[in-house]
Structure 1
Amino acid sequence: MQETTVFTYRVALSPTEWDKASAARRAAGDLWTRLVKIHRFCRRRHWPWPTESQLKAHFKQRFPLHSQIVQALIEKFCATIDGVRTKRQNGDQQARYPWRFRRYFNPIFKGQALKRQGPHLLLPRGRGREPIRVHLPEAMPPGRVVQAELGFGELYITITREIPDPVPMASGKAGGLDIGVIHLGMVTDGQEALAISGRGLRSVKQGRAKAQAKLRKKRARTQPGSRRRQRLNRAQYRTSQKAERVARNALHHAANQIVAFCLAYGITLLYVGDLGTLNHHQRHRRSRRTNQEVGALEFGRLEQYLEYKLRRHGIQLVKIREAYTSQTCPHCGHLTKVAGRTYRCRACGYRAHRDGVGAVNILNKGMHGAIRPGEFLVPQRITYRRPVLLKRALRRSPAEPREIAGGISGGESGGSLRGSHDPRRSHGGSPRISVL
C-alpha cells in the first residue's frame, strides 16, 4: 500500500542561500499576483478563463523560476479556481476566488527537478541560476520525495513510501468517537472509554490570541517601514509558529492514543461525528468567547491524522451525522440540553459524562442508523489522559513525586489503557498555561 505524507522541517539558511530563497519566493509571489489580475480581468468582462495549457505557454520563461515551478503554481491556481466554482454551484455563494496580491509566495518544486547531494537537497531556480542548498536532517524518513515547498524558514517535503498492507483483525468490533473542545476525543467501545483532555491545547490557543493582541496593539503605534514594526512583525510570526508546533505535536499524540485504544480493545471500525454536516446558517448567535474557541479548533486536522494512522492498522474511519448525539439520553431517548460537563436526563434521571453520552450515541447511531435507547450506556470507568506533557503547564512542587506527574500526563509510555485515576487530576485540574 502506498502512503503519502507531508513532513515539515525548519531550515537554517546562510545569508547567500537566504537571498536565493527570498528571490524565488518573491518571483513566485509576482506570478501568483499576475494570475489573480488576469482572472479578475476576465471575470469583470465575462470573458472565458484561459485553460491551464494556455497559461503555461503564456508564462513560459517570463519569471526567474524553474519551468516546473511555474507549471506547479499555475496548476495550483487553476485547481483553486475549479474548487471555488464547484462550491458556488453547490450553493455556497460565500466561497471567494483568489483576490489577494502576494508579495511572497511559496514556490513548489516537483520531485523530478529535485536533486540530493549528500546531506543537502538542491532546489532548482532555472537555467543559469544557482540552486538553493537546503540541509536535510539526519532522521530523514524513508521514501521517495515527490514534491517540496519552500516557506519562510520552513521546508514542506511530500514523501511517498510503500507500507505493508494491514492485516485485518478477526473481530469486527466497532467504536464511537466524539471530538470536542474540553476533551479532544472521547472514544468508547460500549464497555471501556478513554477521554483525552483538550484543556492544555485550548490554553495554548488562548495564549497565542492574547500575545498576538498585545503585539498588534504595539504595532498600531509604529510607523510603516520602521525597524520597530519589523521587529514586532517577526515577534508575531515567532509567536504564531511556536503555538502551531505545540498544537501539531499535541494533535499527533492525541491521535496516537486513540489508535492505541482501538488496537488494545480490537476495534476495527471507528465511527466519528462529521462536523462538516452542521448547518451554520440556522445557529443562534454565539458569544465572543465561544466564537474564539470555535475559530481556534482544528477538528479537521485531528480527523486527518486519525484517518491515515488508523489505515496503517486496517481500521476504518467512518463519518456520520452527529446531530443531537450529545443531547439524547442513551437510557430512554429523551432530548435534554445540558450546559455543564455532566449529562442529567430530565425524564428518567440518568446521569453520565456529557462527552461519554455523545460517544456512545455516535456508536449506537453508526451501528443501527439511529439511536436505540438502552442499547449502549456510558461506561462506569473512564480513563482520562493528557495528549502530551506540556512542561510549562506543570507547576509541580519539589516535594511532589515525579511518578505522579508522569502518570497524569498520559503519555504513550505512561500507564496502561485499563488504568483509571481521579478525573479531577486531568479533567478539572488542568492549569491555565501560556507557552508563548
Structure 2
Amino acid sequence: MSWLKNSTLAKKGITKPEGDVLVEKIPLRLKPEEEVLAREIQRESARVWNTVMTIHRLFWLRYGIWIDEAMMKEFLKGRFEVHSQDVQAIVETYYECWERTKKLHKEGHTEWRYPWRLKRYFTPTWKVTGITAEDGYLRLSNGWKKPPLKVKLPERLKGLKIKQVQLVWRRNGYWLHIAVVKPALEKVQGDIVAAADPGEVHALTLTDGKEALVISGGHLRSLHRLRNKTLRKFQKALSRCKKGSNRWRKLLEAKYRFLNWVEAQISHVEHAITKMAVDWCVERGMKKVYIGDPQGVRKQDCGRYHNQRMHQWDFGRLRDFLGYKLNRHGIALEQIKEGSTSGTCPVCGHYTKQSGRVFRCGNCGFSGVHRDVVGASGILDLAVNGRFTEGRDLPRKVVYLRPSVLAPVAKKCRKAAAA
C-alpha cells in the first residue's frame, strides 16, 4: 500500500473491516466477445502504467522534480477508457514499487531497478465502486466508453462482501482474484508454544514438547513425480512438431490443461496439510508456533534427482498457507534457522549426520525416535532456550497422519447419491 493511501486512511479513521479479507481465485470460461473485451481492458491498463512511468521519469529528467501520487491521479483523471478506480489502483501500484525500490537503495541494495519496462498488457483492478453483485453475477464496470464485464459468481461467494477484483491472465486463460471479507474466527486463548519442522518426505512435524504430529508428504511427492513424467512426454512430443502447427497447438493446449489440473491438486493437498496442522494447534491452545527455515538445503549439491526434489519442494508456499490460517485464530508464526536440529542428539548434544528416517546418535548410541520429531524438538529448544539442551525430554506421544484429500465427484454420482 502506498504512503498516500496509508495517510488518507489514517486521517479518515478507517480501520480494518470486520472479519478477514481473503483472496479467492476463480478460473473463467469467457465467450469470444468477452475475451476480446478482457484483452482490450488489459491493453488500456498497460497504457495507463506506461503513461505514469513516462511522466514520472520525464519530469525528473527535465525539471528535476518528482510528481507525487495525488498530482498524478489528478492529471490522469478521465483520460483512459477504463474505470477511474482502475487508473487509481495502477498509479498506487506504481508508486508502491517506486517507494519500495527507493527504500532498498537507501539500505544498500542498489541492484534493484526502479520501474522501467513498458508493458503490453497489465492486470486491471476493480475497487468497490466499480463492482456490482446482483442475481448471482459479478458486474465489473469499465467506465462509460466500454461495456461491463459480467461474470457468474460461485455459490460459496454469494452474499459475501467483495473488496477488490483483479483480472489475471494465467498460462492459457483468465482468472479472477476476488478479495472477500469472511467472518472472523474465534481467537485462541492459550499460552503454549510449539515448533514445526517442514520436510520433503514428511510435510510438517509439529510438537509442543509433550506430543508430536507427523503429517505425511507422500501425496505431494507423487503429484510432483506425475507432473515431471507427464511434462517429459509433452516436451518430447512438442519437440517433434513444427512450432505453430495444428498438432503443436493441440499439444500445447493439452499440456496447459494438465498443468492447471495438477497444480490445483497440489494446492488442495497443501491446504489439507496446513488445515490439519492448524486444527492441532487450536485444540492445544497454542499462542505461538516456531517454524524452521530449510533454505540452506537448496544450496547443497546431492545429485540430479535429489536436487530436483529439493527445488520443487514448495516449503515457502506451505509456510504462507500455515501463517495466514494460524493468524486467523490469533496464533503467531515465527521463522527461525533450523541448522543441525535434525542431527543433534537430545541426550548428549553430539551432532551426527543422519541417513535414515530413525534418528541414530554416533556418540552415545541413542536411537528409536523419528528424526523429524527430534528436529521439531530441536527447533523448539532453540526458540525457547536459545541453544540445544542436553538430556531434554522428547514427546511421549507421536501421531502419524496423512492429509485427508477430497476427491472430485461426478455429476451422475451426485445425482445417484441424492436419489
TM range, smaller chain: 0.7 to 0.9
Task: State the percentage of identical aligned residues.
Answer: 35
* Number of residues of Structure 1 aligned to a counterpart in Structure 2: 386
| Residue in structure 2 matched with residue 5 of structure 1 by the alignment | 22
Query: Of the candidates 153, 159, 184, which is equivalent to residue 163 of structure 1?
Result: 184
Query: Of the candidates 384, 399, 403, which is equivalent to residue 387 of structure 1?
Result: 403
State the one-letter code of the partner of 1:299: F
Deviation at residue 39 of structure 1 after TM alignment:
8.3
What's the CA shift string for 1:330-371, capped at 9, x where partnerless? 121111222332221111112221211110111112222222
Deviation at residue 229 of structure 1 after TM alignment:
3.8
| Residue in structure 1 matched with residue 351 of structure 2 by the alignment | 335
1:190 aligns with 2:209: yes
Write the distance in 2 (CA, Å) between the matches of 1:211 and 1:355: 31
Write the distance in 1 (CA, Å) between the matches of 2:126 and 2:29: 19
Alignment of 1:1-150 (within 5 A): 2-32=19-49, 51-53=68-70, 55-57=72-74, 59-87=76-104, 89-90=106-107, 95=112, 102-140=119-157, 143-150=160-167
Check conservation: 1:364, 1:376, Cα contact below 8 A: no
SS of the residue corresponding to residue 308 of structure 2 reads: helix
Write the distance in 1 (CA, Å) between the matches of 2:222 and 2:109: 33
Write the distance in 1 (CA, Å) between the matches of 2:59 and 2:238: 37
Query: Of the candidates 277, 292, 295, which is equivalent to residue 258 of structure 1?
Result: 277
State the one-letter code of the partner of 2:35: W
Write the distance in 2 (CA, Å) between the matches of 1:279 and 1:93: 28
| Residue in structure 2 matched with residue 418 of structure 1 by the alignment | none
| Residue in structure 2 matched with residue 154 of structure 1 by the alignment | 175
Deviation at residue 194 of structure 1 after TM alignment:
1.2
SS of the residue corresponding to residue 153 of structure 1 reads: strand
What's the CA shift string for 1:86-139, capped at 9, x where partnerless? 445545566566676654433111122111121111111222211000000122
Deviation at residue 34 of structure 1 after TM alignment:
6.2
Further displaced range: 216-225 or 137-146 = 216-225
Write the distance in 1 (CA, Å) between the matches of 2:246 and 2:58: 37
State the one-letter code of the partner of 2:380: L
What's the CA shift string for 1:361-405, capped at 9, x where partnerless? 11112222222122232x35432222233769xxxxxxxxxxxxx
Structure 1 residues 376 and 54 mapped into 2: Cα distance closer, same or farther (>3 Å)? Answer: farther
Deviation at residue 40 of structure 1 after TM alignment:
9.1
Check conservation: 2:138, 2:153, Cα contact below 8 A: yes
- In the alignment, structure 1 segments of 5+ residues that lack a partner are 393-436
Tell me the C-alpha RMSD between the 2 structures.
3.4
Write the distance in 2 (CA, Å) between the matches of 1:50 and 1:142: 41
| Residue in structure 1 matched with residue 230 of structure 2 by the alignment | 211
Structure 1 residues 59 and 234 mapped into 2: Cα distance closer, same or farther (>3 Å)? Answer: farther
Query: Of the candidates 261, 270, 273, which is equivalent to residue 292 of structure 2?
Result: 273
Q: What is the TM-score when the length of structure 1 is the normalising length?
A: 0.76
SS of the residue corresponding to residue 332 of structure 1 reads: coil
SS of the residue corresponding to residue 330 of structure 1 reads: coil
Q: What is the TM-score when the length of structure 2 is the normalising length?
A: 0.79
What's the CA shift string for 1:21-53, capped at 9, x where partnerless? 2322333345456667788999999x8765444
Check conservation: 1:143, 1:162, Cα contact below 8 A: no
Structure 1 residues 164 and 337 mapped into 2: Cα distance closer, same or farther (>3 Å)? Answer: closer
Check conservation: 1:176, 1:270, Cα contact below 8 A: yes
| Residue in structure 2 matched with residue 421 of structure 1 by the alignment | none
| Residue in structure 2 matched with residue 400 of structure 1 by the alignment | none
Query: Of the candidates 345, 363, 367, which is equivalent to residue 380 of structure 2?
Result: 363
Structure 1 residues 87 and 236 mapped into 2: Cα distance closer, same or farther (>3 Å)? Answer: farther
